[in-house]
Structure 1
Amino acid sequence: MRPFTYERAETADEALALHAGGDVHYLGGGTNLVDLMRLGVARPERLVDVTRLPFDRIETTGDGGLVIGAAVRNSDLAADRAVREHHPALAQAVLSGASGQIRNQATVGGNLLQRTRCSYFQNVTKPCNKREPGSGCPARDGEHHNHAILGHTANCVATHPSDMAVALLALDASVRIRGRAGERVIRLNDFYRLPGDDPARDTTLEPGDLVTAVEVPPLGMPSRYRKVRERASFAFALVSIAAALDVEDGTIRGCRVALGGVAHRPWRARRAEEALRGAPATETSYLRAAHAEMENAHPLRGNRYKVQLATNLIVRTLSGLGDGS
């Protein structure tokens, strides 16, 4: 680990000022960043501690929505009564994401900004376009059983690891950002990037941008998060799903579907949602929607199983929501 300086910000303006110049990272819980520093993947010149900023509260809005501060600990988010009652998929996603010890330390903002767990990205002796642009993507022909089947390119086939982000995407959440040009709000769907020609950038954030909160609108329908992993003890998703379904008189009036473990970013299943709206709430409809979403899948040699796994997970999760089981 190379030497770095450590600064503690007391205000958002101070954090922005301290971030100026050089390779600077904001430090929240540090559960991902510190690991990357130990591996030599992240080599910041300065860390700016933002844990004392006043973004550690969960507020309910009058219409049933939420405003979740970026410094809220994951354990507090999962335990919050309003989250559990009105957005259960979010609580389920957080609880499936890590051990209790990590949840006690990790923050909402840090969870959204965590980097991929691709083994080539984390191994500084290997080439990786995400770590060293232009060096190549050995995962395409190497070990990629848990890599992307949707939205990937020749430059990067890594997947985004967050469970929370998948649930928030299905909930139509937005991100509040404080930057040098002032404050703005970005829908989570526009916050993350596909790899394209620049896989080193995971998000649309500008240098120095500070995530301050997440806005979650009211939902008004049952939701659920389900995750398939290689072991039950806090592994990253092979495929995960966050879904919400509104059924009246046997017909689907509204739906939300987002997938994890399948792309460089949390994946909103728009094709599946379009196929579901107005359709009968039956397994046939759920299977048709899953097939519509997977039509654009481009699996690699070692992860073709994810297409069927995602299909089965969509059908099972929507069936449970549809019949209330």
Structure 2
Amino acid sequence: GTSFFDAKEIKFLLDLMALLVNPKDMMAFIHVFEYARGVGSALSKEFFQCFLHFGQGNFMQGVLYPKVQDLPKLNPNKNVQLGLFDDDNEIGSAARFKLLNLESSLYKHPLLKHPKLTHDGVIFFREFYTLMRSLHTLEKPSDILREAINSSLYKGIVELLSIQRGRLKSGEVDEEKKKQAKERINRKARLLLDLSRQYKELRRFVNAMVLGGNELSEGEGVNLLTVHASKGLEFPEVYVIDLVDGRFPNRKMMSSIEEERRLFYVAVTRAKDRLYLSLAKFDRVKKIDYKPSQFLHEAGLVKGEFVEPEVKEKKPKRVKEDS
């Protein structure tokens, strides 16, 4: 079965906590907003960039008290890969959502101008907005988690997951199976709440839950982490090493270049004060020349245009015929 920390309901709660610890954690935000009907990872990324724009770089400000009222536009001087919109979409009108009876502050929120925002998306945003407004004033992990568990947003996620786990192969929902699934989900949430009571600081709680221990909670030293393990965490100094093409992105192992690009974003946004990017030009042992990572080119940190490596076609193996 799925381990405790891999359960979707636990990952959702921890992503919420991670977002409070580090509001620059785009991946945590995407994982939360992917539960909104009709909102995938690409649109979630757009929304995240919108909130940063609305808050002039401050995510929470952009969610709760936006200073900028216009949607961001594509910067022509920026790499297209890093831009928000590939064309000038017609700005939508908040009047589309008048029948939802939104409170005044939410009805005036600039995100409602986004042309791709649907009614379902607005309803999800309303729940997210309401929860963030109550969470950002709390400090104790147990208080934050209790508020999140009791929120309409989380209850909606629980209902969705319960239905999924109670669905039969025929497509029908077994109500008893759904009920049992909901009980297991609630039991896991209570366990996470019990674990949170051992911590006074949210950052330490998130660190311990993400890494499965207290490695980052006590003392000083260097933390050697994979990019995946660093999600939701922040450090005064971060060193991202091995930024050579073929390794980051890892063209042999990657599922898609976009996923590798997201991992690069996660890696470089872990630093609070200083970020060091490192690469080797030559391997003295293997006698191999390396090229800088594609992402360094995209970020404008390496001069010259990136040239995609040639993909060598594998020659079919000859099969010897029995004589």
Question: Is the shorter-chain TM-score for this pair beyond 0.5, marking a shared fold?
Answer: no
Under a length normalisation based on structure 1, what TM-score does the superposition of the two structures give?
0.24
* Higher-helix-fraction structure: 2
Whose Rg is larger? 2
* Higher-strand-fraction structure: 1
